[in-house]
Structure 1
């Protein structure tokens, strides 16, 4: 796809850049932000002229609906720089489409393509120096929208703010990940907002994850809300299970996010002649595979880590360690996917978009 440059935009540049103050070799994920941000307000049924301005706090009414009724959505994307200093995005059309699906589900206005995509392009052109070359380096992109309309009446707002902020990132690595399979808590329910990237989906995970952390586990594999027999997501990531030489992953639904990394892994695995079975995966099925030795790998898939291998899981006080294997699907698929993102390998899918 070709991203059109947004011309109808105000640009106010920072007088001094803080880029020289940043230690790009020692970044904490999501804590450092670039010099500028994009803002576009929705007022009286109309999107206003976007503005790129210096990154800074802004004031908001204490009665804004985002505080009281949780109208807030976001996306997670990355920009990469190749060896020729060109900046690339990975499947940005998918983020744009999913963002507006989330907006619709949360009774929020859809963001126009020229504002989302064209505004992002202008912002990245300004902040190009913040995208560092080298495998593992990227610029994390956080588009989000909040309800700024005031009043504590339980109804959708009429004023909203769309923003994009940027954060330089190193390779995301959280060490060995052990997970706890949920027996009581659920990430989302049928008819709910699990398929939207709504802020409340993530805050609701914090308490059960805290309980898992206290038991020595880094994340939870969520199960379905009705029976707790079906495996759904791992923490904030989609999850894959390798039984023998087949990859299994749950289908997307009202409860499961349509992950862009997830769908890319499925397509890439099929290209590599790896068997992929998209269907509900049962807890009992996983336990049986772990006991009989056919369970080879479990890994999470998402924007931040791309692929995060899981070394073991616990269910009803029983812990199962995964075997050490020579030919890991997870590591192989991660390498192939990141090679496409960094333009090291040919993009036969047409996923990458040049800024």
Structure 2
């Protein structure tokens, strides 16, 4: 935490984010859901998808890209299947409602699948995974996004850097949580290199002609590379098929590029799609069996000798859960700039 940052209580942080949204015309229940997802990301140390997103979402609400009064509906189309229409509302609120609906179906049937359309950027995947795990369920969650990856053999972006998350519950709270996008590196890292004139490693991106480059400025005119080459493209496309094509949302090059299209100073909607797949794994491993097997899996992994003595083997989610525990105990560290922006949006003025 930087010196300029401040720790505030989780309740105060949630209230501030909620009031920032309601000031922009978002109904209180929707604002509360969205604030909860973003706060959880902040507490897990995922600050890129935390409370600062209230500001960027706020700009889209004010500009008409997101509908503050958007109505979120969840329709059970089969015992385990739910179709969610986000109504162009705040993405994290759409995600929260979809997860609730999928959890409800899973409690009844053992599995619940919710596909969303007419949604927006829904934040990080980890908060949804945590919520499912704390309820005792496993979750696979995914979303499509603005195209940033080229299809195999292509030189123009057509597939989103689509986020994918997994959550597996552990009785002792040490859940296994995977949250990842599917490019080798985030575009923001290439942008920073271009701004400073520094080269980038080969394999991060291609130039406008589809050729590998170490020139960050050229890479900004090209496309990101997926993890594992064509394998990353395949994973991203798999997410696109379920979250985009089959949900009824926009997909591939139908999705607006906000950085480009909003420059024309007109409202831009994205109609993103998301998928939530919830499983009641306790039905496969009842009683204490599942808990014991999760504990054994952790023990087997952490027993592996570390490559570096000061960096022990850890499981996905361990660092985020440590951040979460500290934030719950000591308060949420919030960047001073973000805190000031939230207070201004909430109508508090400077402090």
| TM-score category, normalised to shorter length | under 0.3
Structure showing the higher strand proportion among its residues: 1
TM-score, scaled to structure 1: 0.25
Normalising by structure 2, what TM-score? 0.25
Higher helix share: 2
Higher relative contact order (CA 8 A, sep 6+): 2
